Every structure is written in C-alpha cells, then in structure tokens.
Amino acid sequence: MLSKRRWDAIVAIVSTVIAVALVFLFPPVTAARTAIALAAIVVFAAAYALIGRDAVEPPRAAWRYPAFLSVAAVAVGIGAGAAPFMAMLQTLAYPLVWVVGDSRRRGIGGSAVIAGSVFVGASFGYGPNLQSFLAGATTAVFSLSFAIAIGLWIAQIAEYGEERERLLAELTAAQGQVEALSRERGASAERERLARDIHDTLAQTLAGLVIFAERAGRQSREGQTDAAASTIATVEQVARDALAEARALVARTAAVPREPAFAAAVERLVERFRAQGRGAIVLDTAGVEGELDRETQVVLLRCLQEALSNAAKHAEADLVEVRVHVDPGGTASLEVADDGRGFEPDATGAGFGLDGMRERVALAGGTIQVASTAGHGTTLRVQLRPAREDAVLDAKEEAS
C-alpha cells in the first residue's frame, strides 16, 4: 500500500492536471460551469486532506469512510454535471474509496456510489434527455466495472503480500527456534564429550591415587617403610600424570585461536602436544593454499585435537603424522596417522571420542573415515567442503 505522502502527491498532481485541462483544453460551455467544476475539484481535494488522508493507513476511524465517500460522491456528481470532462475525477475517487474502505465489500459499495453519482451528474447536468442518460449510463457502467475489477485484483495482491509477510515472520521465528535448538544440542553434545573425557582421564586417575594412598598408609602402619616409600613414589608419578591429563583436557576445551592463517593455528596446536613429550609429531601443511571460514577451522582443529589426544593417551604411538590440505576452492582435508597399537573401530568405546568427532563433522556437512587394525596403528581422515558447495550439491540432490 502507498503511504500518505505518496497519496498526497498523487491527489495534488492529478487534481491540478484535471483543473488545467478543464480550463485550457476541455472548457464547459459557460464560465459558471467552469467555476462549479473547479469548485468540485477543490471540494474533493479538501475531503481527502481533511477526512480521507488519515484513513489511508491504519488505524482507521469508522466514521471517516462514510464521510469521505459522501463528500467525494457529491463532488464527483456535481463536477460531472458541470462538465463532461470532470468524469476524469473518477480516476482519484475509485482508488481512494478502496484504500479508505480497506475491504472488498466497502470498495465495491463505494465504487457503486461513485458510479451512481457520475450517472446522475452526467444525465441531469445538461438536461434529462435520452442522449444524456445513455452517456451517463455508459460512463458509469464501464468505469464501475473497471474499478471493481482493478480493485479486486489489487486487493488480492495486497492480501497475498500480507500472507507472505506473515509466513516470512513465522519462518523467521521457526529458524530462530531451530538455531536455539541447534545451540542447545551442540552444548549438550559438548558437555557429554567433556564428561566422557573427565571420566576416562581424571576420574580413573584419581581413583587410582586413592588406592595407592590407602596402600601406602597401610604399609606405613605395618612398618614396611621401603614398600611405603615405593608406593609414595608411584603416587607422585600418578599425580603428575593426572596433572598432565588435566592440562591436555583444558587444551582441548580452550577456544580455538582466532587466526586468519589456518596453517599457523594447526602448528600452534601441534606444538602443545609436542611439549607433552609423548612421541614425535610430524606436521605437513604444504598443501594449505586456500582460505577457510571460521566454522570449518573450528571443526578441523577440534578433530585434530581429539586425534592427537587419542594417539598419545590410548594408542601409545611413537610417531604421529599430520597432513593438512586446503585447495584454493576451500575444500579441506585432515589426515592423522599413528604407529600405535590400533583398535577395532566396530568395537570402539566412548573413550576414543570418535562419536563426538563424527557428530561435529556431520553437522558441518563433511565426511570422516577411521582405518585401524589392532597392532598396526590408526589413520583418521576428515574432509570438509566449502559451505557454498554444500548448498549447491544439496540443491542438485533435491532437484534430482
């Protein structure tokens, strides 16, 4: 719908054009009729400014529609009776009646009233004769038919627009709910992963410390000083291991470095695990050529963190080879291979963190492969496509 300012401009311009054309191009037979026709234009414009303008946009007072329709019908009828050219005032009257009425019923009824006033004015303005009746009836019927057809069409378009706006609002709200649910699901998955890590590392180590401490106390009470000293040394070593596990857990849950260069972030992460001294790590980032978005970097770095942690904690690997590749188009791949003791992927326990990695990669639209055999090491491969490529491929799959 047009705003008040646009309707102001339309009414002013069209009224001025009709008045100028009436005076200079299509003047009535007498000056009196010209004055009456010009007065009708002024009355119509005043009715819009004083009554109809505030009903163009909601909220609309109930009295404005019948008041504007009455004054507009009188102005159009008197104008058409004073000069046949004044029937052009219908070009303003019909659309304003539909806009101010704001409903199909009022629009059709108001159009009928305007058409009736045109018929009466045109029929009796130059005398009640057959020619005047035919001219007035023809003008009224054609203008009414055209006004109703256009009004219904525009009303349908307006309703369609309102329906689309409503559906868009519902879709936006639904998307917000989906995002909230996704965040909640991600947070829940992260809490579960953290709980598994704590259970598999700190909880088990602390349980072992309790057992060793009880043994050392019992040996000390029984006078077994050498055995108690040996157990205390074991407690110290287990405590150091627990401290290292806690630091590794903090490193895995810390925020990913906000670096634009993905290769630099990978090197920094690898250095963290090298500092633990649990085997050599060989890093190859020569294949990093393109740039990655923030989400893809997070997924790859989290997967690398988990893979290095597993290699050090479970596989007892002496050598870990890390290869990272990013092509210019944004497709990224990560490969982590170790020479550890391996495992059977189908019989994996939750402690390896593979379930969390699979969920994270799946949400990013990527693929993950784990190849491992007991006694022959493990190889992890992750591949992620750029977001725009995922969208194109999904669209092709839906189309097919």
DSSP β-bridge partners for residue 280: 319
For residue 241, pLDDT beyond 80: no
| Other beta carbons within 10 Å of 367 | 14
Res 383: pLDDT = 93
- What is the pTM (predicted TM-score) of this model? 0.46
Query: Comparing C-alpha atoms, which of 114, 116, 123 is closest to residue 96?
Result: 114
Query: Comparing C-alpha atoms, which of 347, 336, 324, 329 is closest to residue 388?
Result: 329
Q: What is the mean pLDDT of the chain?
A: 82
Tell me the mean pLDDT in the region 80-84. 87
Q: In degrees, to the nearest 5, what angle opens at C-alpha 280 toward C-alphas 274 and 281?
A: 70
Torsion 342-348-351-352 (CA) sign: positive
Tell me the mean pLDDT in the region 208-218. 85
Res 42: pLDDT = 95
> Of the given ranges (4-8, 109-113, 168-172, 240-244), which has the lowest mean pLDDT?
240-244
Structural domains in the chain, CATH included, are 4-171 (no CATH), 258-400 (3.30.565.10)
Per residue in 90-128, pLDDT (tens digit) is 889 999 998 888 888 888 998 999 999 888 888 877 677
Res 259: pLDDT = 46
Per residue in 157-187, pLDDT (tens digit) is 777 777 888 888 888 888 888 888 887 877 7
Q: Given pLDDT bands bounded at 50, 70 and 90, which one contains residue 29?
A: confident
- Compute the CA torsion angle 60, 62, 64, 68 (nearest 10 deg): 120
Could you tell me if 197 and 249 are in contact, meaning their C-beta atoms sit under 8 angstroms apart?
yes
Q: Find tokens 């490969």 and name the residue.
A: 335
* Separation CA 18–CA 377 (nearest Å): 91
Tell me the mean pLDDT in the region 62-91. 90
Could you tell me if 316 and 339 are in contact, meaning their C-beta atoms sit under 8 angstroms apart?
no
Q: Given pLDDT bands bounded at 50, 70 and 90, which one contains residue 78?
A: very high
Res 252: pLDDT = 58
Res 138: pLDDT = 80
| Other beta carbons within 10 Å of 13 | 10
Per residue in 337-382, pLDDT (tens digit) is 998 888 877 665 544 567 778 888 888 889 999 888 888 889 999 9
> Of the given ranges (12-26, 121-135, 191-205), which has the lowest mean pLDDT?
191-205
Res 395: pLDDT = 43
Per residue in 263-314, pLDDT (tens digit) is 888 888 788 777 666 678 899 988 888 788 878 888 888 888 888 888 877 7
For residue 10, pLDDT beyond 90: yes
Res 277: pLDDT = 63
Q: Which two tokens stand for residue 275?
A: 């500092």
